[in-house]
Structures are given as structure tokens and as C-alpha cells.
């Protein structure tokens, strides 16, 4: 039940972001870019949620099994992100644009240690994300909270896909 509420909340946040991008007095090309960005975020989140429950498989990148980077790669590709997409978690550290402010749905989240990025996921809201993991009973594509101490301590930053990557 809690997962359904998180999914619904994520979709509402994305919908609100899209609605806000079309309002507020923006005109012409700037408003079109903001709307395109909102639509891309919505496609990313919708596609990601459709993978929930997919089993974990190291090196996997298909619905039969995915690892974290294979999941993010497959979601972005299915959402219409063009160009060469990273296949390893570390590759996402230079993909898109660095996020300076708050997280938005569809942002790529980077996790790791001082040695570098070793896990990635996709933001659903400012405090939840979806990712593929293999840890005890929680394996496969799952939704987690950024407020969880494990993820909070390993969070390195986020990347946002710009218009040039579509």
C-alpha cells in the first residue's frame, strides 16, 4: 500500500512540474523547452515504474533481469533519450548536467564512496527513488527512500538530462 502511495505521489509531482512549466508567463521557445523537459521527466518516471519487480541480474539490461546501470540505461532508452547511454554506473557521473538545486523526478541519482560512483537510480520525488538492487529480501527493481541512512550516506549527487540528449 505504501509503495502505491509513493508511485502516485511521484506521478503527481511530475504532473505538477509539467503544469508549472507551461504556466508562469514564459513565452515562445523557452516555454516549449520547459514543457519538453517536463514531458521527458514524465516518460522517464512512467517507464521506470513499469520495471518495478523486475529481478536483479548482474550485467543485465532487459526485463528478464537488470543491474542498476542496466536499469537506468534501459529506462532512458525507452523514454526516448537519444545518443550513447552509459552502461556502467560510473559513466552516469558525466552524463547530462549536474543538479545544483533540488531533485526533480527523472533525475539520475549517483551513489558510492570516496572511490567513486558504484550505484545509480532514478528520482521519483525529492525523497524517493527507484533502482535495481541486490540486498537480502529486497532484490530487483524497488523503490527506496533517500531518507534511509544507507542511501543518505552514499548519495554523491544527481545528473539531469538536458534537451540536447533527446
DSSP for 22-42, please give it. T-SS--HHHHHHHHHHHHHHH
The verdict on whether 119 is a catalytic residue reads yes
Please report, in angstroms and rounded to a whole number, the separation of the first and last CA atoms in the chain: 34
Residue 77 has pLDDT above 90, yes or no: yes
Which pLDDT value is given to residue 119?
Answer: 97
CA 118 – CA 91 distance, rounded (Å)? 10
Domain coordinates of the chain in residue numbers? 2-165
Tens digits of residue pLDDT in 45-67: 999 999 999 999 999 999 999 99
Tens digits of residue pLDDT in 107-165: 999 999 999 999 999 999 999 999 999 987 789 999 999 999 889 999 999 999 975 45
Beta carbons within 8 Å of 166's beta carbon, 6+ residues apart: 36, 40, 80, 81, 82
**SS3 call for 136:** coil
Overall pTM > 0.95:
no
Whole-number Cα distances in Å, 158 to 4, 108, 121, 122: 24, 5, 9, 9
Q: 119, 120, 128, 151: which is the annotated catalytic residue?
A: 119
2-165 classified as CATH 3.40.50.20? no
Tens digits of residue pLDDT in 4-28: 554 555 555 444 444 444 434 333 3
Length of the chain as a residue count: 166
The verdict on whether 53 is a catalytic residue reads no
CA 14 – CA 46 distance, rounded (Å)? 10
Q: 44, 68, 72, 103: which is the annotated catalytic residue?
A: 68
The verdict on whether 131 is a catalytic residue reads yes
Amino acid at each position: 500500500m505504501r509503495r502505491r502511495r509513493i508511485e502516485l505521489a511521484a506521478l503527481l509531482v511530475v504532473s505538477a512540474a509539467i503544469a508549472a512549466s507551461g504556466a508562469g508567463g514564459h513565452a515562445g521557445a523557452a516555454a516549449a523547452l520547459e514543457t519538453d523537459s517536463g514531458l521527458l521527466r514524465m516518460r522517464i518516471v512512467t517507464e521506470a515504474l513499469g520495471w518495478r519487480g523486475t529481478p536483479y541480474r548482474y550485467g543485465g539490461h532487459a526485463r528478464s533481469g537488470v543491474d542498476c546501470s542496466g536499469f537506468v540505461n534501459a529506462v532512458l532508452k525507452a523514454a526516448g533519450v537519444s545518443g550513447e547511454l552509459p552502461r556502467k554506473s560510473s559513466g552516469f557521473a558525466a552524463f547530462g548536467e549536474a543538479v545544483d538545486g533540488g531533485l526533480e523526478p527523472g533525475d539520475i541519482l549517483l551513489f558510492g564512496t570516496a572511490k567513486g560512483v558504484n550505484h545509480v537510480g532514478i528520482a521519483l520525488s525529492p525523497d524517493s527513488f527507484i533502482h535495481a538492487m541486490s540486498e537480502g529480501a529486497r532484490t530487483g527493481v524497488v523503490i527506496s527512500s533517500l531518507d534511509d541512512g544507507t542511501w543518505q550516506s552514499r548519495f554523491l549527487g544527481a545528473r539531469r538530462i538536458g534537451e540536447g540528449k533527446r
